[in-house]
Amino acid sequence: MFATAVIVFREVLEAALLIGIIAAATRAVPGRNRWLAAGIAVGIAGAGLVALGTGRIAEMASGIGQELFNAAVLGLAVLMLAWHNLWMSASGAALSADARGVGSEISAGRRARSVLLIVVGLAVLREGSETVLFLYGIAASEGGASGSMLMGGVAGIVAGVAVGTALYAGLLRIPLRWFFAATGVLVLFVAAGMASQAARLLIQADVLPSLATPLWDTSQLLPQTSIVGTLLHSLVGYEAQPAGMQLVFYVIVLTAIGAGMKWVYKKSEPRHARS
């Protein structure tokens, strides 16, 4: 039961942390809770479909369908997070002045809600499909232990959601002045980490060269399976033995979104000064 709980916890954690960050970052968006719930529901439904179609997806593109599919999901999530951050940079100052959002931002807020839905949906879909497969495997296998193992699965989900909720609650304690800057930086690193994961999948599928395997090895110092390693992996994309190409993707996404945020912020400064 404990082993089951740990595996499910690991799968759920990444999505839970992302949802915690996104939920905090969109605190000013009207109707956020409903859209968040809808994103999770869409993600769970999608995860079920992906789990059902695992065999078929894997066979596509002569055996590398799974890697291409997951890399595409990650790529789309990176784009959505980038869009979210650019929008927050443009309206962050106004939002900080009034956390409930000002009238002029509401139309933009509508668009932010669909981004919120897609990002949360994608995160749940990707991590959820593996959880569904794992739990299905337990349910399908014979033996009386399956009851307690399913309990373990539930415990893993609860623990993952608890950590995501704790992060959310912690983020809300950040003073409003710094709040949107802090969540923006967090989202930026999450996006860069996702880009690095997408690169790893494309290397695994032999679509991209690895450049160096591994670029460094810190698996003795800070194993990725340790609690700190797992958290750092989910939050800033830490890897103990990354390929060189992963770092290239990481740095490109980090600088591109970072520069974009700065540019958008500068451009919208006169507007902030007026309001």
Greatest Cα pair distance in the chain: 69
Provide the minimum distance between the beta carbon of 137 and other proteins in the complex, in angstroms, as a whole number.
Answer: 4
Contact letters for other proteins, residues 194-233 (x by CB under 8 A): ------x--xxxx---x--xx----x---xxx--------
Contact letters for other proteins, residues 151-190 (x by CB under 8 A): ----------------------------------------
Closest CB to other proteins among residues 64, 192: 64
Tokens for 117, please give them.
């839905």
Closest CB to other proteins among residues 104, 213: 213
Q: If binding is defined by CB under 8 A, does position 148 make contact with other proteins?
A: no
Query: What's the half-sphere exposure (Cβ side, CA atoms, 13 Å) at 191?
Result: 28
Closest CB to other proteins among residues 52, 172: 52
Among 39-47, 62-70, 73-81, 111-119, which window interacts with other proteins (CB under 8 A)?
62-70
Contact letters for other proteins, residues 243-262 (x by CB under 8 A): x-------------------
Closest CB to other proteins among residues 67, 105: 67
Applying CB under 8 A, the site for other proteins has a residue count of 34
Provide the minimum distance between the beta carbon of 203 and other proteins in the complex, in angstroms, as a whole number.
Answer: 7
Class of residue 96 by CB neighbours under 10 A (exposed 0-12, middle 13-18, buried 19+): middle
Q: How far apart are alpha carbons 236 and 227 in whole angstroms?
A: 14
Closest CB to other proteins among residues 92, 156: 156
Provide the minimum distance between the beta carbon of 256 and other proteins in the complex, in angstroms, as a whole number.
Answer: 24
Provide the minimum distance between the beta carbon of 144 and other proteins in the complex, in angstroms, as a whole number.
Answer: 16
Q: If binding is defined by CB under 8 A, does position 49 make contact with other proteins?
A: no
Q: Which residues bind other proteins (CB under 8 A)?
A: 3, 7, 54-55, 58-59, 63-64, 66-67, 130, 133-134, 136-137, 140-141, 200, 203-206, 210, 213-214, 219, 223-225, 239-243
